[in-house]
Structure 1
Amino acid sequence: MSRLLLASVFASRVLGHGHIRNVVVNGVSYQGWDINSFPYMEDPPLVGSWGTINTGGGFPVNGYSDPDIICHIDAMNGEGSIPVAAGDSISLQWTVWPETHHGPVLDYLANCGSSCQTVDKTTLEFFKISEVGLIDDSTVPGYWGTDELIENDSAWLVQIPEDIAPGNYVLRHELIALHGAHTEGEAQNYMQCINLQISGSGSAQPEGVLGTELYTATDPGILVDIYNPLTYTIPGPSLIAGATPVAQATSAITATGTAIVPGVTSA
């Protein structure tokens, strides 16, 4: 199905809870997937971000076993990749995120073999490299990872593990809004995927989990009432060894240039 046809079929769904507008690595800014224009273009710019026709609707639309949970609705492989080195920190620059949408911020990687541009997303096995949940529970509904993102000028910093083996990877970045999560099926997951070409001399190849097996609707971090005192359990698999579990300040990374990577080499 062409991007133009997708746009015409789903244009009414584009509500906009926010999206990643650019990715900054070592001061270089890479264009993200522009939900407001790219779906309507016959030949959109080459970017590492996976394409989707909707970042407005929260999941689970059809449950957590539906492939749309992997990289969003009808997500299309990014046609480029962004070069990073193991140990680099990546700043994900969001558009505005609603202040009422409190919840955790999670980051995963999945090795996509020889090509992230052609990999079947349902075969990707994700391992968690970062998570920030309930930071301060002194007030209700508390201060969450998403609140920290807002305070960081809608930016989020995630570090690529220093010992990760070089190769082609998909970064799965996710915000989970829990304002309605006291009712089963009403947690809202907002995920976006970005192709990375990681360089380095590491050898770690962590085991991962299929995207359709990351969560269930009754996980304690998914089915939860944030408007009552609680001890929060972040959903999904445990962090891998060597992961950075706490977000860092994002002020050190600024967008000083723009570059688009045309593709990747074989892993």
Structure 2
Amino acid sequence: MKTTIYAASLLLAGSVSAHGGVISYTIDGKTYAGLSTSPPPGGAANTIQRSWAKLDPIRDPNSPNLACNSPGAPAKLSATATAGATITAKWNNWPHNSGPLLVWMTECKGDCSTFSPAGADWFKIYQEGLLSGTIGHGKWATRQMIENNESLSVKIPESLKPGNYLIRHETINLARAPAEFYPECAQLKVVGSGSASPSEQFRAKLPGAYHKSDSAFAHAYSDAAVSSNTKYVIPGPPVWTGN
């Protein structure tokens, strides 16, 4: 039976006007609350998620808030996660279905409650983009997440060395110009017998991994050549699987 730690308040999905957010993380059978989506969003005492102050997206890929949203202040808790375990993030009231979905991690290099992600070297453990059809009218990873009860399950690489980490779930909305970024970070304490760490080829800084001119952020409907394309290249480094 799952043990659930609830946020101080979780607003009903229908009352959020802009977009929802990750409202919970389930790890090793235990569910941790994300942030309340009541306006303005605020951190609850029992959450592993770093704070975000408003429902608006980040539109500048060079923004210092790209890493963990604004203000991205540390959470009070960290969730224990066994390397190789599955972490399931649950959104609510998510309307944006045209764009990729990515999951990143980075080492906290100490206690996550005092760690700043500025200048951190992030690595991906998951990414999905255009699943079928065209950029303008196809099925995207964000739509699949919505159809899957607004949730995404991702495995933490089994070989990952123990330590304190941030995990960053990111949805990118290509139906608006400029593209909209929705990053949300949570704090983990990874345990296990792994000893691996991603090499430089799998690393990138946030901001730094993306540029406004990247073709990956072209508006999905503004240009016929873009809209009819059946190929989409997800921005950033390749996914690290633990090998």
Q: TM-score, normalised by structure 2?
A: 0.84
Aligned length: 220
Give the structure 2 partner of residue 202 of structure 1: 194
The separation in 2 between residues aligned to 1:46 and 1:27, in whole angstroms, is 17
The separation in 1 between residues aligned to 2:165 and 2:135, in whole angstroms, is 39
Q: Which of 187, 193, 203 lines up with 2:179 in the alignment?
A: 187
Aligned-residue CA RMSD (Å): 2.1
Gaps of 5+ in 1: 1-13, 244-267
Gaps of 5+ in 2: 1-15
> Is residue 109 of structure 2 the alignment partner of residue 117 of structure 1?
no
CA deviation digits over 1:201-229, x for unaligned, max 9? Answer: 11111142221112111112112435722
Name the SS of the counterpart of 2:216 in structure 1: coil
CA distance 1:124–1:101, shift in 2 (3 Å)? same
Q: Which of 30, 35, 40 lines up with 1:33 in the alignment?
A: 35
Give the structure 2 partner of residue 59 of structure 1: 58
Deviating above 4 A after TM superposition, structure 1's stretches of 4 or more consecutive aligned residues are 37-41
> Is residue 24 of structure 2 the alignment partner of residue 22 of structure 1?
yes
Give the structure 2 partner of residue 93 of structure 1: 90
Give the structure 2 partner of residue 232 of structure 1: 232
CA deviation digits over 1:55-75, x for unaligned, max 9? Answer: x21222xx2222111111211
Q: TM-score, normalised by structure 1?
A: 0.76
Contact kept in structure 2, 1:110 and 1:124, CA below 8 Å: yes
> Counterparts of 1:160-179 in structure 2 under 5 Å?
160-179=156-175
Contact kept in structure 2, 1:15 and 1:57, CA below 8 Å: no
CA deviation digits over 1:205-258, x for unaligned, max 9? Answer: 114222111211111211243572211111111112448xxxxxxxxxxxxxxx
Name the SS of the counterpart of 2:67 in structure 1: helix
CA distance 1:204–1:224, shift in 2 (3 Å)? farther
CA distance 1:188–1:139, shift in 2 (3 Å)? closer
CA distance 1:37–1:47, shift in 2 (3 Å)? farther
Give the structure 2 partner of residue 215 of structure 1: 210
Name the SS of the counterpart of 1:84 in structure 2: strand
Name the SS of the counterpart of 2:123 in structure 1: strand
What amino acid does structure 2 have at the position aligned with 1:229?
S
Identity of aligned residues (%): 30
Give the structure 1 partner of residue 7 of structure 2: none
Q: Which of 72, 79, 88 lines up with 2:76 in the alignment?
A: 79
What amino acid does structure 2 have at the position aligned with 1:67?
P
Contact kept in structure 2, 1:50 and 1:194, CA below 8 Å: yes
